[in-house]
Amino acid sequence: MMPPITLALEPYDRTWPLLDGRVALRDVSLVVAASGPRHERMLLEGAYDAAELSMSSYVLARSAGAPLVAIPVFPRRLFSPSCLYVRAGLADPAELRGARIGVYSLQFTMSVVARGDLEHHFGVPADAVTWVRTGREIVPHHSPLRVEECSGADLWGLLAGGRLDGVISPDVPAAFEEGRVRRLFPAYEDVERGLYRRTGVFPIMHTVAITQAALRRRSSLPGELHAAFSRAKALAWRALRQPHATGLVWGRAALEAQERVLGPDAFPYDLEEANRRSLAQLMRYQVEQGLLDRPMDVDGLFVALDSHPHDESAR
């Protein structure tokens, strides 16, 4: 009997059908693990057959020759302005010149994207900031940026206490809910819409990578997983279109407003122009920040799905 395929991912509306079994693979068991130290375990130990990974860390790992290959599935995307938190009293991006900004690591994708956006769109060069790092860099690199090590520290406590000027994080902290820290851009939706109009980029945060060992064991796995993620997303989108499916009272109105800007699918799983633009921007930022020597070929980062037909039996 074929051993199960192990898959680690984050629980989103667009991945829940994989977690709850509504979407499966034919003739092989799919064992899905949610959350946990997924990035480290996959990149350092190859602990899963496939896993949702930081797009930035995946690029760095591949540039170092890691035995992984991704499929064009991008289950997490975020704009950076909503992820920039600052201490009370700081209201202008210009005030971040010479500031101390906390990050979990330099390489995590939102950290890269937010630094690049601050530099290119809000007048705050990455080398004009001291980056206070509390976590580890999964993939070694030699960025020349000014870094202060603060391993294991509570970023939100440091920010609320005035020991940091800002924090970059994709998570909404309790300190924000309690009013102890604020967003740099309170009207972040308007800022993000403006950024999208200027760049045409809705930044990719995560992709899905497969180990070369799993690929040798089951050559059809890339196409099967791409089809499964696509099916799971379709089920989520179908539910989202019904106003009774979410606790957001005006969720349908928000969906329609989103579609007017980003189109009917804000999370395309392909390598068409919009995704190539996002990937090119990420790698440009990585090069500028000293994380990557040169941009990688986009096609070389992803397995060619044409040679691995989709498993139409995913259900």
| Cα(289)–Cα(187) distance, integer angstroms | 28
Residue 307 pLDDT = 45
Judged against a pLDDT cut of 50, whether residue 168 lies above it is answered with yes
Average pLDDT, the chain: 95
Residue 309 pLDDT = 42
Angle, CA 211 vertex, CA 71 and CA 21 arms, to 5°:
65
Judged against a pLDDT cut of 80, whether residue 179 lies above it is answered with yes
Residue 166 pLDDT = 98
Q: For residues 3 and 30, is the Cβ–Cβ distance under 8 A? A: no
pLDDT tens by residue, 238-264: 999 999 988 999 999 999 999 999 999
Residue 1 pLDDT = 62
Q: What would the mean pLDDT of 131-159 be, rounded to a whole number?
A: 96
pLDDT tens by residue, 95-105: 999 999 999 99
Judged against a pLDDT cut of 70, whether residue 296 lies above it is answered with yes
Q: What would the mean pLDDT of 189-209 be, rounded to a whole number?
A: 98
Judged against a pLDDT cut of 90, whether residue 305 lies above it is answered with no
Residue 180 pLDDT = 96
Q: For residues 33 and 58, is the Cβ–Cβ distance under 8 A? A: no
Confidence of residue 311 (pLDDT cuts 50, 70, 90): very low
pTM of the model: 0.95
Residue 284 pLDDT = 98
Q: Please name each of the domains of the chain with its CATH number.
A: 5-77+202-233+271-295 (3.40.190.10), 81-199 (3.40.190.10)
CA atoms within 13 A on the CB side of 153: 20
